[in-house]
């Protein structure tokens, strides 16, 4: 390991979807580095997401909130952290429309607290962000890292604010900050509030698939394994102060995404139900990923392969998602989809 190779990493949100996949990815690549998962275990952060990793000699867990400066500071001291990777966030657009303030609190103030601790201790911070900060991207354009930010949902606005705080810390204090902006990520352990796991589990249960509006919105679906490899490339070879898009560089419509799910699971298209659209729904996201390619990274999965692989994972892991669907998610589903799917048994 070189002198600046991260040895002790604080992975905030390490029990969440991308976070837990990254913990698994990182420990398989660098089993001698220390990984401290710092997570509040809210609804999408689950101990189960780390599965077989509990008991790994290099894995430590701290129950904590990223807005709690004292606890973050103390954890960084205790484990001699030399890199913070911030996966902790509220991430679901629909939730941000229903209860926006918690997004500002966690995504903006939480990131700010982490930046402050990183500044105080003189350690590096990597911010895990999203393509949603660019807002709707008209065809045939793609967004590059230097393009203007036009966030359009409370979620996207909170992530854009966090990105800009991170850049401000690089410019003002010279803090070693890097940022990745990932596209729609799919794979194991994603909470079923998001489209691909929601549609996969609904299809497996024989329930309607609620497609917002005409279903012609476009997204770039990247497999979480590729997303993790992209973050790794930036951690190992990225430049401080730089931002890197992570995605396949392609985009497909929601109806194409649903067809892949239904085809993979052998289910009928009659399950498709067009429902009332999401307010302010971004029509299209599309990323230029050439900057990350220049670091030697390339996506291994196409959008279609990533979605099919994910649908298969949900088909084989009902023991993971059934308890979630039977828990508090049931109430959210009722509140959010009850009006949209009035004739369906929720």
Contacting residue, 9, 88, 93, 108, with ligand TYD by CB under 6 A: 93
254 binds ligand TYD (CB under 6 A): yes
> Would you say 249 and 308 are in contact if contact means Cβ atoms under 8 Å apart?
no
CA distance 326 to 293: 41
Q: How far is the CB of 314 from ligand TYD (least distance, A)?
A: 14
Catalytic site includes residue 155: yes
In the bound state with ligand TYD, the residue whose beta carbon lies nearer, of 27 and 162, is: 162
Radius of gyration of the chain (CA): 19
Catalytic residue among 65, 132, 220, 309: 132
227 binds ligand TYD (CB under 6 A): no
Q: How far is the CB of 3 from ligand TYD (least distance, A)?
A: 39
Q: Site size for ligand TYD, by CB under 6 A? A: 12
Give the footprint of ligand TYD on residues 3-62 (CB under 6 A): none
The answer for residues whose C-beta is within 8 angstroms of residue 20's C-beta and 6 or more apart is: 14, 49, 50, 189
Token pair listed for 146: 């230097």
Q: How far is the CB of 239 from ligand TYD (least distance, A)?
A: 28
Token pair listed for 266: 């052998």
Catalytic site includes residue 132: yes
* x/- map, 181-200, ligand TYD, by CB under 6 A: ---x---------xx--x--
In the bound state with ligand TYD, the residue whose beta carbon lies nearer, of 158 and 184, is: 184
Token pair listed for 187: 């794979």
CB atoms within 10 A of CB 62: 17
Q: How far is the CB of 283 from ligand TYD (least distance, A)?
A: 8
Q: Which stretch binds ligand TYD (CB under 6 A): 30-38, 51-59, 76-84, 208-216?
A: 208-216
154 binds ligand TYD (CB under 6 A): no
> Would you say 8 and 33 are in contact if contact means Cβ atoms under 8 Å apart?
yes
The answer for residues whose C-beta is within 8 angstroms of residue 209's C-beta and 6 or more apart is: 198, 199, 202, 203, 258, 261, 262, 271, 272, 273
Contacting residue, 13, 151, 210, 230, with ligand TYD by CB under 6 A: 210
CA distance 253 to 258: 9
CA neighbor of 209 nearest in space, from 218, 196, 220, 221: 196
Catalytic site includes residue 256: no
What residue ranges bind ligand TYD (CB under 6 A)? 93, 132, 184, 194-195, 198, 210-212, 217, 219, 254
């Amino acid at each position: 390991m070189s002198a600046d190779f991260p040895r002790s990493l604080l992975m905030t949100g390490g029990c969440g979807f991308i976070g837990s996949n990254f913990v698994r990815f990182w420990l398989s690549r660098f089993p001698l580095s220390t990984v401290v998962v710092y997570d509040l275990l809210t609804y999408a952060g689950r101990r189960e997401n780390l599965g077989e990793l509990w008991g790994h000699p290099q894995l430590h867990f701290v129950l904590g909130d990223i807005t709690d400066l004292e606890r973050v500071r103390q954890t960084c001291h205790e484990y001699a952290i030399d890199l913070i990777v911030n996966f902790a966030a509220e991430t679901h657009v629909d939730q941000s429309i229903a209860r926006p303030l918690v997004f500002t609190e966690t995504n903006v103030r939480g990131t700010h607290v982490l930046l402050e601790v990183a500044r105080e201790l003189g350690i590096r911070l990597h911010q895990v962000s999203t393509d949603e900060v660019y807002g709707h991207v008209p065809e045939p354009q793609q967004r590059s890292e230097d393009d203007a930010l036009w966030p359009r949902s409370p979620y996207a606005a909170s992530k854009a604010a966090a990105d800009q705080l991170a850049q401000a810390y690089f410019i003002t204090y010279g803090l070693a900050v890097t940022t990745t902006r990932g596209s729609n990520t799919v794979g194991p352990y994603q909470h079923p509030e998001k489209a691909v796991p929601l549609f996969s589990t609904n299809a497996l249960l024989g329930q309607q698939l609620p497609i917002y509006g005409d279903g012609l919105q476009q997204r770039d679906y990247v497999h979480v394994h590729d997303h993790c490899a992209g973050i790794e490339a930036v951690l190992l070879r990225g430049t401080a102060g730089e931002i890197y898009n992570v995605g396949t560089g392609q985009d497909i419509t929601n109806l194409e995404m649903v067809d892949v799910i239904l085809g993979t699971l052998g289910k009928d298209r009659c399950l498709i139900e067009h429902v009332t659209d999401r307010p302010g729904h971004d029509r299209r996201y599309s990323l230029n990923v050439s900057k990350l390619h220049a670091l030697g990274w390339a996506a291994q999965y196409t959008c279609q392969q990533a979605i099919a692989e994910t649908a298969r994972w949900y088909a084989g892991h009902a023991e993971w998602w059934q308890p979630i669907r039977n828990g508090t998610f049931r109430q959210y589903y009722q509140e959010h989809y009850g009006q949209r799917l009035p004739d369906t048994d929720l």
